[in-house]
Amino acid sequence: MLEFISQPWPWYTSGAVIAFVMVLLLFFGKSFGFSSNLRTICTACGAGKNVKFFDFDWRSQTWNLLFLVGAVIGGFISAEFLAGDMPLQLSQATIQDLQALEISGPDDLQPEELFSLEAIFTVKGFLVMLLGGFAIGFGSRYAGGCTSGHAISGLSNLQLPSLIAVIGFFIGGLITTFILLPLIF
């Protein structure tokens, strides 16, 4: 059993489990949306004193912070106990495209060129992560949600605004992939 779930999960299993998590939260009386946690963290740190947007009772969002803690634990369990020996089966075309950018193939889940400690202590590596994160935080709040809130919850509820947001996600993703990454790497 453990061996079975330690393999990489096929897309249909993964998609079904994600839908299950979303439905589970609905039956808990909540709505699946991860990026709200970033706003809650700002408020919990006292941002509500100066900025109206953060002036709300963040304790009402404790459930979502607990979900966040669970996500970290889930990652830890996967890394420690469910790590299979199957390497990531990245498509050959992607491997070649990334080689052209001098980013080495998938030995691990993440590329060394971005996620290693050596990389993060270079100016380029630090700025890529910092500015990338900044855009994610700014953009998800501006759009009112991220992949979970818009692409999963919103599209499941057939919300046109969510479809527009997902189109935006792709416009931005394509700009980074085909214009910014070749400039940076």
Stretch 43-62 residues interacting with another protein (CB under 8 A): 47, 51-54, 62
Taking the least distance from each CB to another protein, the nearer of 1 and 11 is 11
Provide the mask over 110-129, with x wherever binding to another protein is found by CB under 8 A and - wherever it is not.
xx--xxxx-xx----xx-xx
Q: Residue 117 and residue 120: Cα distance in Å, rounded? A: 5
Distance of closest approach, residue 137 Cβ to another protein, in angstroms: 3
Query: Residue for token digits 């808990």?
Result: 28
Please tell me whether residue 78 binds another protein under the rule CB under 8 A: yes
Distance of closest approach, residue 124 Cβ to another protein, in angstroms: 12
User: Using the 8-state DSSP alphabet, how is residue 9 labeled?
Assistant: P
Among 3, 26, 56, 183, binds another protein (CB under 8 A): 26
Taking the least distance from each CB to another protein, the nearer of 57 and 171 is 171
Nearest to 33 by CA among 125, 153, 138, 123: 153
Which residues within the stretch 135-174 sit at the binding site for another protein (CB under 8 A)? 135-148, 150-162, 164-174
Distance of closest approach, residue 96 Cβ to another protein, in angstroms: 10
Q: Residue 92 and residue 36: Cα distance in Å, rounded? A: 36
Contact 76/175 with Cβ under 8 angstroms? no
Binding-site size, another protein (CB under 8 A): 124
- Helix ranges, the chain (H): 2-6, 11-27, 36-44, 62-81, 92-100, 112-115, 117-120, 123-143, 155-156, 160-175, 181-184
Among 94, 99, 124, 182, binds another protein (CB under 8 A): 94
Q: Which amino acid is at 112?
A: E
Distance of closest approach, residue 105 Cβ to another protein, in angstroms: 8
Among 56, 59, 73, 124, binds another protein (CB under 8 A): 73
User: Using the 8-state DSSP alphabet, how is residue 152 labeled?
Assistant: I
Nearest to 105 by CA among 83, 125, 90, 120: 90
